[in-house]
């Protein structure tokens, strides 16, 4: 009897210690969540510190006279140029007119690229005929710089807004189409066959299998397309534009106003970063599972 009771107590003790030693799954999830939040905060802190260090280096370089103002103006010179632009003392138009004009151009072109490019990319990913027709055309013009077909835009569509918007549209279009096509291929054949075996028709397979699989890469394509669109903005506004950030930068470069050029570059970078941040937030809402598998 004593031997039996001792063995039972040993078994209970060993089983109890194993229960204590094994952490619950909930605690593991909470620890991983805390670690992820700390890592995200550290990344943001590093980014903020890097920006402040670059600004301090810029101010020190210009104030010490290591680089001439013609090549790198001081931050306060850019602030003064910003004040002139706001008051309309540069090109006869206030800054908000240039901003709204450029935003309308790039948003119109980008919206058109999304409306046309995403369905075409999905069709190319799901249909061999569509892929065979459009893939050579898109792959041909995709590596071409926008300045290469800028003269054709002027000859075909004149110097109005149509040629400017189309130039930006063509720059945004290829990344959006190719990303949507590549996203369709992310849907495995096993997933499609499983949906069909459960009675799903073609529309249901597209909505519930193909689109969720293609959405992450499609959103990445939208981010790339928007970035390419902003880089093409200056080229588009070379076409006899009366207003726009790119037009303001080009006019300033003709008069060696480096402060105005830097101000325009910073404005383009700020607005492009805002659009990038917005698409990333949309990505977190629409594809919350991305990066967590």
What pLDDT does residue 110 have?
Answer: 94
Query: CA-CA distance, 195 to 145, in Å (whole number)?
Result: 42
Q: Place 192 in a pLDDT band, splitting at 50, 70 and 90.
A: confident
Q: Where is 196: in which H helix or E strand?
A: helix 189-197
pTM for the full predicted model: 0.76
Length of the chain: 293
Tell me the domains of the chain and their CATH numbers: 91-286 (1.10.3720.10)
Percent of the chain with pLDDT over 90: 21
Q: Which of 125-139, 228-242, 279-293 has the lowest mean pLDDT?
A: 279-293
If one counts every other C-beta atom within 10 angstroms of the C-beta of residue 208, the result is 13
Q: Of all residues in the chain, what percent carry a pLDDT higher than 70? A: 85
DSSP-derived 3-state class of residue 186: coil
- In the predicted model, what is the mean pLDDT of the chain? 81
Give the pLDDT band (50/70/90) at residue 34.
low
Instruction: Assess whether pLDDT exceeds 90 at residue 286.
Output: no
**Span 133-151, average pLDDT:** 88
**Closest listed residue to residue 260, CA positions, set 270, 271, 248, 247:** 248
Average pLDDT over residues 94-123: 92
User: Residue 211 is encoded by which pair of tokens?
Assistant: 């689109």
Mean pLDDT value of segment 158-164:
86
Residue 1 has pLDDT above 70, yes or no: no
d(CA 47, CA 41): 10
Q: What is the mean pLDDT of residues 202-213?
A: 82
pLDDT of residue 287: 81
Per-residue pLDDT for 113 more than 90?
A: yes
Distance separating alpha carbons of residues 81 and 247, to the nearest angstrom: 15
pLDDT of residue 14: 44
Is it the case that residue 116 has pLDDT exceeding 90?
yes
């Amino acid at each position: 009897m004593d031997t039996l009771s001792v063995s039972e107590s040993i078994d209970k003790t060993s089983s109890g210690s194993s229960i204590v030693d094994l952490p619950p799954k909930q605690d593991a999830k909470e620890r991983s969540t805390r670690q992820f939040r700390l890592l995200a905060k550290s990344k943001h802190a590093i980014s903020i510190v890097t920006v402040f260090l670059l600004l301090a280096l810029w101010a020190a370089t210009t104030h010490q006279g290591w680089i001439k103002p013609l090549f790198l103006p001081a931050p306060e010179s850019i602030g003064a140029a910003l004040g002139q632009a706001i008051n309309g003392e540069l090109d006869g138009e206030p800054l908000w007119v240039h901003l709204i004009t450029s935003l309308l151009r790039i948003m119109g072109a980008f919206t058109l690229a999304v409306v046309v490019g995403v369905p075409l990319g999905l069709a190319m990913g799901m249909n061999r005929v569509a892929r065979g027709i459009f893939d050579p055309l898109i792959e041909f013009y995709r590596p071409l710089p926008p300045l290469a077909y800028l003269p054709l835009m002027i000859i075909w569509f004149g110097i109005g807004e149509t040629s400017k918007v189309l130039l930006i549209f063509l720059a945004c279009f290829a990344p959006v189409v190719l990303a949507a096509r590549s996203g369709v291929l992310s849907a495995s054949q096993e997933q499609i066959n499983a949906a069909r075996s459960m009675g799903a028709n073609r529309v249901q397979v597209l909505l519930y299998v193909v689109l969720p699989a293609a959405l992450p890469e499609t959103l990445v394509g939208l981010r790339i397309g928007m970035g390419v669109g902003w880089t093409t903005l200056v080229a588009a506004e070379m076409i006899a534009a009366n207003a726009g950030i790119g037009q303001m930068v080009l006019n300033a470069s003709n008069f060696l106003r480096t402060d105005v050029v830097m101000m325009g570059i910073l404005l383009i970078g700020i607005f492009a970063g805002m659009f990038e941040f917005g698409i990333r937030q949309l990505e977190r809402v629409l594809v919350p599972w991305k990066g967590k598998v």
